[in-house]
Amino acid sequence: MVISIDSNSGFCFGVTRAIQAAEGELANGPLYCLGDIVHNGQEVARLEEKGLQTIDYDDLRTLPAHSRVLLRAHGEPPSTYWIARQRGCEIIDATCPVVKKLQDRIRACYEAHKHDENRPPQIVIYGKAGHAEVIGLQGQTNNTAIVIESTDQLDKIDFTRPIYLFSQTTKEVEGFNALVEAIRARSQESGVRTTVEVHDTICRNVANRVAELQAFAKANDTVLFVGGTKSSNAKVLFRHCAEANPKTFFVSSPDEIEQLITDGHIDTTNPDLKIGICGATSTPLWLMEKISERLSAS
């Protein structure tokens, strides 16, 4: 077998930065992280072995004063900062600068328009309801923003009122463009002339990966896409990979390799078989390397 790892896969800039912050801060004593630092169980386990303690919002409310709390790349709503300060915690803010800028833009838009009483504006976020980043974005609008996951949910919007559209950073450009088109069409149909302001805030660190990933998938006979089952970015990129090469398999751990071989998906006796290993923005390079090692040893 010829095994190669996609050089464009692995942590994006924001996740790398958050993990480096965690590793650096762990040297100074106990450190809590609010939520999984990255949507990859193996990387979370690696950092927890080094002493990182993953907590939830209920835990945050009961932390002793002076505890150090790391906020991950996804960002947090203002209420989280407030609670942490109330507890006397030290905040280590590893919010990705791209997400931070988006939060600032949404907050500025909300502040600029919240007093328009005649036709109160609507801030619409194209994103996944309940996703950590989206919760952080909604928080910038005092939780008044409307979250839309697809064009099927347009009824959530009042087309007689101004619309300010933003996107979760990890959504797909095609879906966003389709939503923009549908909103504009529905707005025209309503017969009420109103503002439809569009802010394409999709992170190109993710969006630009699709073409590279598909080229990599096509260049290999079989592809192992490595990702965490909780990662929405992994699900999306896996789908693109599988479109380019139907012999793409989703793998979360090296322990899954044997089953793929037993099921006949990987012919380890074929010396010419090209196997490509790639992953999401939340997939650590070391995990892809471990999968490569396990394959080589099979």
Q: Which residues of 101-117 are buried (b: 16+ CB within 10 A; e: fewer)?
A: ebbebbbebbeebeeee
* Closer CB to ligand SF4, 99 or 287, in the complex: 99
Looking at the Cβ atoms of 15 and 109, the one nearer to ligand SF4 is: 15
Residue whose CB is less far from ligand SF4, 101 or 265: 101
Output the smallest distance, CB 61 to ligand SF4, in A.
26
User: Given candidates 5, 15, 71, 237, which one binds ligand SF4 under the rule CB under 6 A?
Assistant: 15
Q: C-beta of 281: minimal distance to ligand SF4 in Å? A: 5
Q: Which two tokens mark 108?
A: 């500025």
The nearer residue to ligand SF4, 15 or 291, going by C-beta atoms, is 15
Residue 133 bears catalytic tag:
yes
CB neighbour list of residue 49: distance below 8 Å, 6 or more residues apart: none
Neighbours of 92 (CB within 10 A): 18
Length, in residues, of the chain: 298
Q: How buried is residue 7: exposed, middle or buried, by Cβ count under 10 Å (0-12/13-18/19+)?
A: exposed
- Tokens, residue 84: 């942490």
Candidates 52, 124, 134, 206; binder of ligand SF4 (CB under 6 A) is 206
H/E element holding 146? Answer: strand 146-148
Smallest distance from ligand SF4 to CB 280, Å: 10
Residues 256-295 that bind ligand SF4 (CB under 6 A): 281
Q: Tell me if 50 sits within 8 A of 129, measured CB to CB.
A: no
**Given the rule CB under 6 A, which of 54-62, 94-102, 186-194, 207-215 is the region that contacts ligand SF4?**
94-102
- Residue of 133, 172, 212, 243 marked active site: 133
Please report which residue ranges of the chain form alpha helices under DSSP H: 13-26, 41-49, 57-60, 78-86, 97-113, 132-139, 173-190, 204-207, 209-218, 232-244, 257-262, 285-297
Identity of the residue, 125 or 203, whose beta carbon is nearer to ligand SF4 in the bound complex: 203
36/122 with CB nearer ligand SF4: 36
* Side chain identity, residue 78: P
Query: What minimum distance in Å lies between the beta carbon of 192 and ligand SF4?
Result: 34
Residue 99 interacting with ligand SF4 (CB under 6 A): yes
Phi, psi of 71, deg, nearest 5: -100, 125
| Residue in 103, 141, 170, 283 binding ligand SF4, rule: CB under 6 A | 170
Does 205 bind ligand SF4 (CB under 6 A)? Our answer is yes
**Closest distance to ligand SF4 from the beta carbon of 73 (Å):** 4
Q: Which residues form the catalytic set?
A: 133
* Positions that interact with ligand SF4 (CB under 6 A): 12-15, 73, 96, 98-99, 169-170, 203, 205-206, 281
